[in-house]
Amino acid sequence: MPDASTFALFVAAALALLLVPGPAVLYVVARSVDQGRPAGLASVLGVGIGSLVHVAFAAVGLSALLASSAAAFSVVKWLGAAYLIWLGLQRLLARDEEEVPVEVEPERLLRVFLQGIIVNVLNPKTALFFLAFLSQFVDPARGAAWTQIIVLGTTFVAVGLCTDSLYALLGGTAGDWLRRKSRGASFRWMRRYVPGGVYIVLGAATAVSGSGKD
């Protein structure tokens, strides 16, 4: 299990990332605005299940790397740091684009839930993110890597369920306001610089820290 300070830092970083609207939030908001709170919350649950699938993949992949070589842990950490920094730079340098509301047709809640799972599971960037992000908080001295990945990943998903549900509830009652806000320059600035800065800081902190093996 991660130590208390590492776990607290992880939760803070997860909150910082999850509170800023990303693709999953935009998907949930679109469902909520067009189909109401129940559809938005069903989408949140679907996205959460999809995230758990990625957490399981990350646990298996990282454990295999750690079991194969002591140097593998350092390789994963450096690749994760490089990926996070690249993700941040890509976000900072992205061209401003107008947000286009996603049009969805009325569907049964079960179908909406299943679509949320599929949308998240079939997103390769989500798989890469979990492997890169979760590995930054794993300490081999604290026990099996896969158990730490499961704990951290499940925590991330639980926090995400809370924040995404909040967006779903807001979207169901204030859809028109959210549509106007998504086209504002200040909102686009926040979506660019806040997550981009968080990714770069996480990557830089990893690059200057030890591998965890020393």
Condensed to tens digits (0 to 9), the pLDDT of residues 17-49 reads 888 877 678 778 777 876 778 888 999 999 999
Q: Tell which wins on pLDDT, 130 or 99.
A: 130
Place of tokens 């999953």: 24
Place of tokens 């454990």: 63
Cβ-in-10-Å burial (0-12, 13-18, 19+) of 74 comes to middle
Q: Which two tokens stand for residue 112?
A: 């909406």
Q: What is the pLDDT of residue 83?
A: 76
* Structure tokens belonging to residue 4: 């208390």
- For 1-20, the pLDDT digits (tens) are 767 888 888 899 889 888 88
% helix / strand / coil in the chain, to the nearest 5? 80, 0, 20
Compute the CA torsion angle 98, 23, 14, 204 (nearest 10 deg): -70
Question: Is the predicted pLDDT of residue 105 greater than 60, yes or no?
Answer: no
Q: What integer is the mean pLDDT of 119-147?
A: 78
Instruction: Tell how far CA 191 is from the center of its chain.
Output: 14
Please state, rounded to an integer, the average pLDDT across all residues of the chain.
Answer: 76
159-200 pLDDT per residue, tens: 999 999 999 998 887 655 655 665 555 555 655 676 677 778
Domain boundaries, the chain: 4-208
Query: Residue 62: what pLDDT?
Result: 62
Mean pLDDT over residues 132-159, rounded?
86
Are the CB atoms for 136 and 80 separated by under 8 Å? yes
Q: What average pLDDT score do residues 104-121 get?
A: 77
Tokens coding 155: 């925590």
Confirm if 37 and 172 have CB atoms less than 8 A apart: yes
DSSP helix/strand/coil, 70: helix
Encoding tokens for residue 176? Answer: 């028109």
Identify the top-confidence range among 16-25, 79-88, 110-119, 139-148.
110-119
Higher local confidence (pLDDT), 109 or 61: 109
- C-alpha dist (Å) from residue 77 to 5, 21, 163, 165, 210: 19, 26, 28, 32, 9
State mean pLDDT over 76-97.
Answer: 73
Q: How far from chain centre, in Å, is Cα 129?
A: 7
Write down the pLDDT at residue 42.
Answer: 93
| Lowest mean pLDDT, pick from 65-69, 118-122, 156-160, 171-175 | 65-69
Residue 96 pLDDT exceeds 60? no
Q: What is the pLDDT averaged over residues 71-89?
A: 74
Tell me how long the chain is: 214
- 20 neighbors 191 (Cβ within 8 angstroms): yes
